[in-house]
Structure 1
Amino acid sequence: MSTMLDTYQDSATIKSLEREQSTYLKAELKAEFPRYIEARNHELKIKTNIIDVGSISTNELNACLDLIDHNLGAIYARLHGPTWKMDKIKEMKDSGLIYILLKDNSTEVSSKLAGFLSMRILVDGDLSVLYLYEIQLDKAYQNNKIGSQAMKHLSTLPDKINMNRRYLSRFYPLDGISLTVFSDNLGALKFYQAQGYKFSKMSPRDKKLKDKTVEKPPYYIMIKYSSAAYL
């Protein structure tokens, strides 16, 4: 099946098409994602704010970067060196990205960033996927089912988008949701596996060495397939 992304390959047009895909994604998120995430601690009131990368403020972007630093900064520094934040902030401004900001609205005066998700639609190898760039929660809000609830609602998106005939007239159906996880981040790895994610066929894998030790890659690529992937 030929799509618009097959026809036009210059970078300006591709960015325009990425923004178009982003428009479909944002519309589906606003239709399907709840206004509030239900936490285990019922006193928490976690409000969702869906926003595209062109509209996110510098303060919000920096707050998201701080969360990444607090949660994964040591791993990023070890793998990418002391200037990793410069590369990360560029990635966080990628064309077509959609952010879901999770704000703590438990009190009238509080609107703290409890966490965020960022994602966009892209082609990864021979798959068209909703790629989850980040899901980060402030440590004070972890273990409250906020992350698992967010992932549960996100999991319906590929099938919902694949029901949109206008989208399918221009782009490939989505094969699922894909993400990258550091091999050292065992907690995140178990979390994604519990959500139904499996290693992608394109993922780096562990290697058994001659001395029988196991050498892990820096990261794994995981995927949760949509219904379209089985057709």
Structure 2
Amino acid sequence: MPMDLTEFDVFDESNVEFMDAVAETLSSTVISEIFQDQLVVVNSNAKSCTLNLSIKPVHKLNSKLLNSCLTLVDQNLSAHYSRQNGKEWKLEKREEMLQDGLIYIFYKDEDSGNIVAFLSFMLTYYEPEEKINKVLYLFEIHVSKSYQSLRIGAELIERFHLVAKRLHELKDDDLLSVDATCLTVFSNNTKALKWYEALNYKVTEDSPKDKVLRNKKVIKPPYYILTRTL
């Protein structure tokens, strides 16, 4: 049975039980209604594959699933993380991927049982100290290299935006309503930056910014924070 949100009066990210309840409520209602149970794609070997949906709040995520997700992160972004955080970046990343309130969406290949794509996100305050500007924050979105260019990523981000839109429409619900979506992206990940720009994401006012030196050389920050209003 999903945890009951009715016993909570305010959105409190410091309350683990509350964040678990939010993740369970969204997983069993809005998210399960919006994401497709199955995707059928033709992979790089010209083989038709059926991908099955699975939804897990982070507190119900087992080590095997977490490790599979971390493997995809490693496959797609290891060079970026190593450059910014050093060779031991996976230890820190693993901890980040267990943050209270996160929700994981997986698509598994029906034949192999392997995770071929996933995204994770959570409901959070963009400015936690002021407790204003609640957003749906995208933590990760990854597709296995052998399944890329099949519009799986496009499908995932589109459904993510539909979840945000549905929550935005709950304007009188102080617990679940949101004003925007947000994400963090490496500044040297030009492919991802162009993709998000095409999806109408903009650099936030308080995001780290480029610095232009006197010789006009541009020094980029490690990452940008992007937002998309609803």
Could you tell me how far apart the structure 1 residues matched to 2:163 and 2:88 are?
Answer: 34
1:76-111 Cα distance to aligned partner (Å, 9 max, x none): 112112221111111111111110011122x3xx22
Counterpart mapping for 1:100-139 below 5 A: 100-105=105-110, 107=111, 110-125=112-127, 126-139=132-145
Mapped partners of 2:20, 2:77: distance in 1: 29
Corresponding letter in the other structure for 1:32: I
Alignment of 1:167-206 (within 5 A): 168-171=172-175, 173-206=177-210
- Give runs of ≥4 in structure 1 deviating > 6 Å: none
TM-aligned CA deviation for residue 171 of structure 1: 2.3
| Secondary structure, aligned partner of 1:223 | strand
- Deviation of the 1:159 alpha carbon: 2.3
Task: Name the aligned partner's letter for residue 29 of structure 1.
Answer: I
- Once the two structures are superposed, residues 169-206 of structure 1 have per-residue CA deviations (whole angstroms, 9 ceiling, x without a partner) of 44263011111110111111111122222212222121
Provide the residue aligned with 1:44 in structure 2.
Answer: 49
Q: What is the Cα deviation at residue 164 of structure 1?
A: 4.1
- CA contact under 8 A between 1:37 and 1:150: conserved in structure 2? no
Query: What residue is the counterpart of 1:213 in the other structure?
Result: 217
Structure 1 residues 55-94: aligned runs within 5 Å = 55-94=60-99
Higher relative contact order (CA 8 A, sep 6+): 1
TM norm structure 1: 0.85
Residue 16 of structure 1 and its aligned partner are, at CA, apart by 2.4
- The 3 A distance-change label for structure 1 pair 159 and 215 is same
Count of residue pairs brought into register by the alignment:
214
3-state DSSP class of the match of 2:192? Answer: helix
Q: Any unmatched runs of 5+ in structure 2?
A: 1-8
- What is the root-mean-square deviation of aligned Cα atoms in Å? 2.0
In the alignment, what sits opposite 2:37?
A: 35
Structure 1 portions without partners, runs of 5+: 227-231
CA contact (8 A) 2:20 2:59 kept: no
